[in-house]
Amino acid sequence: MRRYFYDLRLLFIVFPISIVLFFSSFMKGEKIKPKTINKTVPTIVKDADSNVYSIIVIGKQQWMGENLKTTHYSNGKIIPYVKDSGRWAIFNSGAYAIYGNDTSISRKNGLLYNWFAVNDSQKICPKGWHIPTDADWNVLDESLGGTNLAGGKMKDTVLVNWINAFGNTNESGFNGLPSGCRTNKGTFSSLGFYGLWWSSTENYATYAWYRCVNYNSTDLFRHYYYKRYGFSIRCLKD
């Protein structure tokens, strides 16, 4: 019985206090602020040549939705276009190539850059963007379900672009194209077979890490190769 009266007294004390606090907050205009779940992401970004790229969100990363096409560094300085294969084979600074020297290919697939352009202090990506590190690529890989699945989710689904489109879903929106490469000898190779993208992380004096998707696998491959090779570039938001 005593417990009953004790609980009753407590109710008469707590309830009025709650009412007072409620109306006090109301009169002050205080409101419960909803949590922000998603932040607004810009839909496009421009390079130094004013080429426009879509922006895609994969996990916590924001990527360009197409391969880089700029012929200038972010400070406006020209990136040398090296057309001759012999000159490409000995070039020790930043340069770009057009696959087969055919501009109809580069308009769709982007340009091919040696790693010296990737590493140039003048910066090839727009302000606020950078070449992904090897670790950045690992984050993308994990966001897409791991090495064995990520490649398929990154490959575009336009069959005419591929020699064979095995496991292509492009569910990430990455729009990975088989843009091929330019070798360290200056020859062009693998258009329709492989899409290859540089990382900014070197491996020994003459090599750097890159990622690759190919026509007959859903893997996202991690390899390193000569810095004089010409691969595609994707920029990542800082």
pLDDT tens digits along 157-189: 999 999 999 999 999 999 999 999 999 999 999
Q: What is the pLDDT of residue 14?
A: 38
d(CA 19, CA 134): 58
C-alpha torsion 73→100→224→194, nearest 10? 120
Q: What is the pLDDT of residue 28?
A: 40
d(CA 57, CA 64): 9
Structure tokens at 168: 């292509």
Q: Are residues 66 and 14 in the same domain?
A: no
Handedness of CA 19, 24, 26, 27 (dihedral sign): positive
User: C-alpha angle with apex 167: 163 to 169, nearest 5 degrees?
Assistant: 105
Three-state DSSP state, 90: coil
Q: Are residues 20 and 110 in the same domain?
A: no
Domain span holding position 19? 1-33
Q: Are residues 17 and 96 in the same domain?
A: no
d(CA 19, CA 206): 73
Q: Looking at the domain assignment, is residue 67 inside a domain?
A: yes
| pLDDT tens, residue by residue, 67-84 | 999 999 999 999 999 999
User: C-alpha angle with apex 68: 207 to 192, nearest 5 degrees?
Assistant: 75
| pLDDT of 64 above 50 | yes
Domains contained in the chain, number: 2
| pLDDT of 7 above 90 | no
| pLDDT of 196 above 60 | yes
Q: Are residues 3 and 101 in the same domain?
A: no
Q: Are residues 29 and 50 in the same domain?
A: no
Q: Are residues 184 and 160 in the same domain?
A: yes
Q: Looking at the domain assignment, is residue 139 inside a domain?
A: yes
Give 42-48's long-range contacts (Cβ < 8 A, gap of 24+): 45/126, 45/129, 45/235, 46/126, 47/72, 47/74, 47/125, 47/126, 48/72, 48/73, 48/74, 48/75, 48/76, 48/126
Q: Are residues 73 and 102 in the same domain?
A: yes
Q: Are residues 180 and 95 in the same domain?
A: yes
| pLDDT of 109 above 50 | yes
Q: Looking at the domain assignment, is residue 109 inside a domain?
A: yes
Q: Are residues 95 and 208 in the same domain?
A: yes
Q: How confident is the model at residue 41 (pLDDT cuts 50, 70, 90)?
A: low
| pLDDT of 54 above 50 | yes
| pLDDT of 154 above 70 | yes
Q: Looking at the domain assignment, is residue 49 inside a domain?
A: yes
Q: Looking at the domain assignment, is residue 55 inside a domain?
A: yes
Please state the pTM of the whole predicted model: 0.83
| Mean pLDDT confidence for 202-210 | 96
Q: Are residues 95 and 124 in the same domain?
A: yes
Residue 166's H or E segment, with its range, is none
Three-state DSSP state, 69: coil
Ramachandran angles phi, psi of 15, nearest 5°: -60, -50
Q: Are residues 104 and 217 in the same domain?
A: yes
d(CA 205, CA 116): 12
Q: Looking at the domain assignment, is residue 104 inside a domain?
A: yes
Mean pLDDT of the chain: 87
Q: Looking at the domain assignment, is residue 38 inside a domain?
A: no
Report the range out of 25-34, 36-45, 229-238 with the highest average pLDDT.
229-238
Which of 54, 58, 238, 45 has the alpha carbon at shortest distance from 133? 238
Q: Are residues 70 and 150 in the same domain?
A: yes
| pLDDT of 206 above 90 | yes
Q: Looking at the domain assignment, is residue 161 inside a domain?
A: yes
